[in-house]
Amino acid sequence: MDKETTILIVEDEPRIRTGLRDFLEFHHFQTATAEDGLEAERIVDHRRFDLILLDLMLPKISGEQLCQKWRQSGLTTPIIMLTAKGMEKEKIDGLNLGADDYVTKPFSLEELLARINAILRRTEPGRGVGQKFPFGPWSVDMPNLKIATSKKTVELSPRQAELIRFFAANPNRVIPRGELYSRVWGESMEDIETRTVDMHVAKLRALIEDDPTDPRLIKTVRGVGYLYEASAGDDCASGGSHREQRGG
């Protein structure tokens, strides 16, 4: 099964935990849950999440302590803090949380969903890559939808540019087709069109790979998805054949 956007719910109150899980799964997120700070810490040590919902008042390790600990260890996963009713904004700002956002209980699920989506849009696709960045031997110019080497310039469709940006932001990592589809197309995983993803990757390869049948930049990982090899050589994009290949 392809990877989805995965959210960790850290909440000790069973009713809220279950409610959040059901709501997020209904909205096509994959979820994991933790009942206390220790369990959350253990889970995060072994698994990557796209976002963490973190209750502030937790048994064993508090949300604030966890958040600080994670940030100190370099974890960049976005965190939305679930704070207690009656907690004033000034008080939350005063805590050095390191969280990206917070909601105050009782919160509306729709509002929480809007905040989750806003953060995911901000952080993915293409987190940290910027508007101009290298892609193998190419220089990518996002605002002008162009990709160039010293020898040639190729125009990109907005989708192709987003695909490249997502690969560039996730170098040397196997990216399941489903993840590409949900991040670059913004569609729910339920309706995943693997053929759409494969066709776009094939077209992109025809533009940027020297030999699209033996791609150096965007490799097929059979049965899973694609891998951008950031260390690919400088000499692989001088040509640009137009043969196409379906990713396996």
Binding site for Ca ion (CB under 5 A): 12, 55, 57
Select 12 or 211, whichever has its Cβ closest to Ca ion.
12
Min dist CB 91 to Ca ion, Å, is 16
Q: What order do you get walking across the sheet with 79-83 strand by strand?
A: 30-34, 6-10, 51-55, 79-83, 101-104
Q: Which residue is nearest to Ca ion (CB)?
A: 57
Q: Are 185 and 179 in contact, with CB atoms under 8 Å apart?
A: no
Q: Is 119 exposed, middle or buried (0-12, 13-18, 19+ CB in 10 A)?
A: middle
Min dist CB 130 to Ca ion, Å, is 38
Select 57 or 109, whichever has its Cβ closest to Ca ion.
57
Min dist CB 227 to Ca ion, Å, is 40
Min dist CB 37 to Ca ion, Å, is 10
Select 13 or 141, whichever has its Cβ closest to Ca ion.
13
Min dist CB 13 to Ca ion, Å, is 6
Select 99 or 164, whichever has its Cβ closest to Ca ion.
99
Cα–Cα nearest to 67, from 90, 41, 46, 49? 41
Select 35 or 162, whichever has its Cβ closest to Ca ion.
35
